[in-house]
Amino acid sequence: MIRARTALFFACLSSVIACDRGVKMEHHELPGFAIDLPSGTEIPGYTNLEYANGSIGIQDAEHGRIVMMQWSVGTKLGGTELDAMLSGFRAIVKTSGSAARIVDPWGPGPGSGIETMKIDAEPFPFYLNQVECAGRDVVIVSGAAHDADTLRHAIVTSLRCKPDPVAEKKLGEVAVEIQIELPGWHVLSKDEGQLMLQNDTGSIAMIEPMGVMDHKDFMTAVGPMLQQAFKGTVIVGAVEGDLVPLSGTLEGTTVIGVSRMIKCGKKSTLVIQLSPSRTLADQLRPVIEAAKCLAPGQAPPTWPAQPTEPAAPATE
């Protein structure tokens, strides 16, 4: 389907509008890598220093700078997933037109070897940088009122990948951190931090643990993001509370369902549920609505592996 990390970490972009050309960098030792970031204050509620899915954000309104760094299980975004991320960006960031304008092609950043995209937006240009660090994808968004490319270059050239062998072995595990009642379902796949479940009616549910996620920004950007991710075949309806209705076709099959972001402390979980009929979707909607954070000490739900078909009898 899609990886939810294509989504959103652009919550504070419009708040940094002052200007100053002096940049003081500070060294940060983070889970599995080290990097230099500009001095400033952490974006409230954004930092989550877990190994598999984490983030850190630094803002300096006085000097007009902001950096948001997020890492998650998987490889670099490309194609549809990258387009979905940019659609989410365009839905949130202030621009001089109807959308943020891509002014530089995706490609190696000058002098860094890290893929970089420059995005012309307000109040100043932003750079979106992406690099793989062992089993994780690291995305860095930086912006500054002046010398934005100098800031970007200082950040990305300081990045040092230092993977933890023990933590890397656990990256294939998908830790479900919500309570959701789906008895009789089985695991269809586990890939890049995403758990895909299915039942015997053909309904599917995607559960993806994420780092911090701003609910307001998610609701703003989820429509363009999902429609881009599904290549326009799944239509996103009007938001209903914290549910986002979905309908259309997926690989030629009619699908109806909902999407919901569930925030628990500094973590979020994206749930996307799709069924082959309205009746089945209506039956599962209350389940998605009732999903909630695990209580302290509560064991997460588990599901069995996909059942295997019995072997055909041997023939003479």
Are 145 and 64 spatial neighbours (Cβ–Cβ below 8 Å)?
yes
For the stretch 112-138, pLDDT in tens is 557 788 877 777 888 888 888 999 989
**What single DSSP character describes residue 240?**
B
Are 220 and 2 spatial neighbours (Cβ–Cβ below 8 Å)?
no
**What single DSSP character describes residue 305?**
B
Query: What are the Cα distances from residue 248, in Å, to 119, 150, 230, 245, 275?
Result: 31, 45, 10, 11, 10
Q: How far apart are CA 239 and CA 253, in angstroms?
A: 23
pLDDT below 50 — which residues of the chain? 4-20, 96-104, 311, 316
For the stretch 226-235, pLDDT in tens is 766 677 788 8
Per-residue model confidence (pLDDT) at position 303: 94
DSSP H or E segment with residue 35: strand 33-38
Mind listing the domains of the chain with CATH numbers?
A: 4-166 (3.40.1000.10), 178-293 (3.40.1000.10)
Handedness of CA 280, 282, 284, 288 (dihedral sign): positive
Return all residues near 121 (Cβ < 8 A) that are at least 6 apart. 13, 93, 94, 95, 100, 101, 143
Strand partners, 240: 243
Return all residues near 92 (Cβ < 8 A) that are at least 6 apart. 8, 10, 11, 13, 217, 220, 221
